[in-house]
Structure 1
Amino acid sequence: MLDIVLLPGEYAVCRLTGDSALPPTLTGGLREGDVVTVSWTADGISVICPADRAPEQAAVETAWRCLRVAGPLDLAVSGTLAALVDPMAAARVSVVAFSTYDTDYLLVPAVRLGEAVTALERAGHRVLA
């Protein structure tokens, strides 16, 4: 069983061109509980952030809710993401997953949050608001 925390507010999944600079809205002044993650590839820059911090010049998909596994988690532990994603797949809830050094995160569509929470709870996890 995992304890999972529902973060406040909506999140956005964004795409910037590879030559973009990260705007100051992403790099400073995070509020308690906020998370921002940035990934660079040859195809561009992907950003996950609170919706109100989404870069203006980015292609943006909004209305996601963010769930954080209460951590920190030991990096040697395996199967954590599978324990979260498998119930979502069974409930047909889309997921965007990412990890930090300390824990794992899931984004689920805001309109499917109730179904996502139900699926996680049925799988034996506890979702905390």
Structure 2
Amino acid sequence: MNASTAQRLSIMSPTFAVEHLPHGGLPEDDWLVLVRAPEGLTVVREARGADAAEQWIGFYGGATAHGLDVPGMLSAIVKPLAEAAIPVFVASTFHADLVLVPELRKQQAVTVLEEAGHQVMSQDGAAGERSGDGTGAGR
């Protein structure tokens, strides 16, 4: 990765659930992402207690928003996660990408992303999610 694709990623809160609804199914109003495709609706929403086995953590690159013409931004996040065999679900906005990883893989994902040159912050803006000291070192 080069310096132009390094990003400041915020860990979104709360955790999320990803679900599929058939055409004609109506999601509740708590959705964050809604995609209509030929096979139905994909919904990303806040996880509830019943979703315990399928919760996802979101990394959002809004702090380093970019135009649609900037190549490699999503790849810079997804490639190191793929190389570490961490599954992802991605939703892109006009300016940035939301990359979801299974909640159980959060620490590994943070480590991988920081080692790839990204800065990972908690939602309150604290850097160094792994160590709490801003360096990304530790654990």
Query: Counting strand residues as a fraction of each chain, which structure ranks higher?
Result: 1
Bigger relative CO (Cα 8 Å, ≥ 6 apart):
1
Structure 2 runs not aligned, ≥5 long: 1-5, 123-139
TM-score normalised by L of structure 2: 0.76
Q: CA deviation at 1:107?
A: 0.3
Aligned length: 116
> Aligned to 1:115, which of 108, 133, 139?
108
Q: Distance in 1 between matches of 2:42 and 2:95?
A: 20
Give the letter aligned to residue 3 of structure 1.
Answer: R
Q: CA deviation at 1:102?
A: 2.0
Superposed CA deviations along residues 71-104 of structure 1, whole A, max 9, x for unmatched, are: 4321111101110011101111111111011210
Q: CA deviation at 1:60?
A: 9.9
Give the letter aligned to residue 51 of structure 1.
Answer: A
Match in the other structure for 1:43: 39
Match in the other structure for 2:60: 68
Structure 1 runs not aligned, ≥5 long: 27-35
Q: Distance in 1 between matches of 2:53 and 2:100?
A: 12
TM-score normalised by L of structure 1: 0.81
Query: Identity over the aligned pairs, expressed in percent?
Result: 30
Contact 2:56 2:101 in 1 (8 A): yes
1:18/1:25 Cα in 2 relative to 1: closer, same or farther (>3 Å)? same
Match in the other structure for 1:31: none
- Superposition RMSD in Å: 2.2
